[in-house]
């Protein structure tokens, strides 16, 4: 299925009848709190799966960050296939373990300083989105702030500070060059 930028793929508390795999583009999962704040739970890129829930309903909403194509698989069909095919069961287990690891890392990220959070985020995105020392971010600064539990002003100020320190360069608002990966890694430690 194709989704346009900022189009909802599924909503919080909707039935979790399907599992999703990003073919192209990117997706964010998020929760809106009663006071209007948004917490982004994760970003998903080509090859990533999302939407697998423990219960019968989605705990987060999901929407396209940019135009994307998503493979949609019926949950019951995948579970039935996994019961018959050990390789599919192992892949499903691997996906689940990877998602658990990502959530744990995100939880630990939220107790770090703003500079540490941004450095960790940049390293994660560089590892997930590119092989070079630059990364083209599909998400906005507001998305980054909502993922890191910071304000957009703090994210912008921190990026400017990292640029001034020579750790990164900011040729555009979405393109970031990692000029000193070791400095970013020290902040992520």
For residue range 136-152, what is the model confidence (pLDDT) as tens digits? Answer: 999 999 999 999 999 99
Query: What pLDDT digit, counting tens, does each position of 143-177 carry?
Result: 999 999 999 999 999 999 999 999 999 999 899 99
By three-state DSSP, how is residue 32 classified?
strand
Report all structural domains of the chain as residue ranges with CATH numbers, in order of start.
2-109 (2.60.120.10), 114-188 (1.10.10.10)
CB 1 within 8 A of CB 59: no
By three-state DSSP, how is residue 186 classified?
helix
Query: What pLDDT digit, counting tens, does each position of 57-99 carry?
Result: 999 999 999 999 999 999 999 989 999 999 989 988 998 998 8
By three-state DSSP, how is residue 14 classified?
coil
Of the candidates 14, 6, 104, the one whose C-alpha atom is nearest the C-alpha of residue 58 is 14
**131, pLDDT greater than 70:** no
Distance, C-alpha 64 to centroid of its chain: 11
Measured from the Cβ of residue 65, the count of other Cβ atoms closer than 10 Å reads 21
Of the candidates 164, 88, 171, 175, the one whose C-alpha atom is nearest the C-alpha of residue 129 is 175
């Amino acid at each position: 299925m194709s989704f346009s930028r900022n189009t909802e793929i599924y909503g919080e508390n909707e039935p979790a009848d399907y599992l999703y795999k990003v073919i192209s583009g990117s997706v964010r999962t998020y929760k809106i709190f009663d006071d209007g704040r948004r917490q982004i739970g994760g970003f998903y890129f080509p090859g990533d799966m999302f939407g697998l829930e423990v219960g019968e309903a989605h705990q987060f909403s999901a929407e396209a960050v940019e135009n994307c194509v998503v493979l949609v698989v019926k949950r019951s069909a995948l579970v039935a296939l996994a019961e018959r095919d050990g390789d599919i069961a192992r892949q499903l287990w691997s996906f689940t373990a990877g998602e658990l690891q990502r959530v744990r890392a995100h939880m630990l990220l939220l107790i770090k300083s703003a500079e540490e959070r941004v450095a960790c985020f940049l390293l994660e995105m560089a590892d997930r989105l590119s092989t070079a020392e630059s990364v083209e971010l599909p998400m906005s600064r507001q998305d980054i702030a909502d993922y890191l539990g910071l304000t957009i002003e703090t994210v912008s100020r921190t990026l400017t500070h990292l640029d001034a320190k020579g750790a990164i360069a900011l040729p555009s608002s979405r393109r970031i060059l990692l000029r000193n990966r070791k400095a970013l890694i020290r902040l992520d430690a």
